[in-house]
Amino acid sequence: MNGSRRFVLVDRDGTINVEKDYLSDPAGLELIPGAAAAIRDLKQAGFGVVVITNQSGIGRGYFTLEQLAAVHDRLVQLLAAEGATVDGIHICPHGPGDACACRKPLPGMVEQAVAEHGFDPAQGFMIGDKEVDVELGHAVGATTFLVRTGYGRKYEASTKADHVVDDLAAAVAVIRADQP
């Protein structure tokens, strides 16, 4: 593993883009203000950035993998328009009742990202708007952030997150302030 490069694992819906239940139309994708700049800042500081997202709409039959790929193409385009890139996007297409190892808070998507990029998740960070994001972060040893965007305020009072912040940009500010 490449221990020198730290990675930030970021939830998609409600963290990078505005939460829209079961988003399947690329035209409906809307970045949360400041999210692209925050990702750009992480990349410029030398961090890897991987999106980790449950997409049970596929398992539920609400949309297809092709529709999801179009949404992710649009996400990449919107980020690029603001000078931001991600190292990868990992999805769990399964529904809550499916027996899989990848649905958050299980670590399967992080294991895929580690296999692809060779990093130690315990040296990294997990940022999301739901407690399953926090639980995933703890499961892989990462420092966790709950953002108040998306569904975050719903979990704020009971979260086990290491940090509770307003949004992705605020999480990145904490990460950057803690850099050696």
- What are 99's two structure tokens? 């027996």
Q: For residue 13, give the DSSP letter.
A: B
Nearest to 90 by CA among 74, 111, 67, 75: 111
What strand order describes the sheet that includes 143-147?
88-92, 48-54, 7-10, 125-128, 143-147, 163-165
Which of 11, 129, 133, 167 is labelled catalytic? 11
Sign of CA dihedral 75, 77, 82, 84: positive
CA dist., res. 88 & res. 10, Å (int): 10
Known catalytic membership, residue 11: yes
Q: Are 141 and 124 in contact (CB under 8 A)?
A: no
Known catalytic membership, residue 13: yes
Which of 13, 129, 133, 167 is labelled catalytic? 13
What residues are annotated to the active site? Answer: 11, 13
